[in-house]
Chains A and B, each alone.
Chain A
Amino acid sequence: TQLLEQSPQFLSIQEGENLTVYCNSSSVFSSLQWYRQEPGEGPVLLVTVVTGGEVKKLKRLTFQFGDARKDSSLHITAAQPGDTGLYLCAGDSRNSGAGSYQLTFGKGTKLSVIP
């Protein structure tokens, strides 16, 4: 089983601060996705990174995929209360039994941005 470790598990910051959350594994992933989940709802995809070293920006969010495709980070600049939620990373791995692909999820980082 391929594992994804996310850190920190919880993060509480003031509005306007910057933060970085991490997603690490000893396994190589062909792609990695970041989702955000708000209370009472399902996860919503933010970004998919595919190439080692890739950097993608989504407004104040910056996503990076490690050169070896084993880790990723999410950096938020000037956090706002609307950024509050659970951030999940998910790695794309092959299910060798069925020959199809499935996502392996990390446990998530719960972010609270205080006004």
Chain B
Amino acid sequence: NAGVTQTPKFRILKIGQSMTLQCTQDMNHNYMYWYRQDPGMGLKLIYYSVGAGITDKGEVPNGYNVSRSTTEDFPLRLELAAPSQTSVYFCASSYWGKGDTQYFGPGTRLTVL
């Protein structure tokens, strides 16, 4: 099992550009999550999904969109990138929601200039 994979590893965007961060898990997990991690600020939940076709907002959803058409994939879309979206983005998955282990991908480091 590869676990949770994310692409790309690094990306630089100009203000106003758009991009999609890819996330795939091969553990047949129901729940998937997107977090952003800023220096000294811990992890903030952007969006999450409890299964294919079902998504919901987390703590900091503005400026992002997600979709979950399959169990395996959970892409994060950035529209009109802004410098405030410079961060490290982590995708995670778990089988259950409550109290279950979350498995994290290696992260995508995004810089918006």
Cβ–Cβ contact A42 & B90, under 8 A: yes
| A8-63 with Cβ < 8 A to chain B | 9, 30-31, 33, 40-45, 48, 50
Determine, out of B11-19, B68-76, B77-85, B100-108, the stretch whose residues face the partner at the interface: B100-108
Tell me which of B42, B44, B50, B101 contacts A88 (CB under 8 A). Answer: B42
Q: Say yes or no: is A92 at the interface (Cβ < 8 Å to chain B).
A: yes
Distance from B40 Cβ to chain A, minimum over Cβ atoms (Å): 6
| Chain B positions 1 through 28: 1 when the CB is less than 8 Å from some CB of chain A, otherwise 0 | 0001000000000000000000000000
Cβ B98 vs Cβ A101 within 8 A: yes
Least Cβ–Cβ distance between B66 and chain A, in angstroms: 14
Complexed CA–CA distance, A87 and B92 (Å): 17
B40 touches A42 (CB 8 A): no
Q: Is the CB of A100 within 8 A of B50?
A: yes
Q: Quick check: A48 and B43 within 8 Å, CB to CB?
A: no
Residues of A within 8 A of B4 (CB): 42
Query: Which residues of B are interface residues toward A (Cβ below 8 A)?
Result: 4, 33, 35, 40-45, 48, 50, 56, 58-59, 90, 92, 97-99, 101-107
Q: List 24 A-B contacts (CB under 8 A).
A: A33-B101, A40-B106, A41-B106, A42-B4, A42-B105, A43-B43, A44-B104, A45-B101, A48-B99, A48-B101, A88-B43, A92-B98, A92-B99, A97-B56, A100-B97, A101-B97, A102-B58, A103-B45, A103-B102, A105-B42, A106-B42, A107-B40, A108-B40, A108-B42
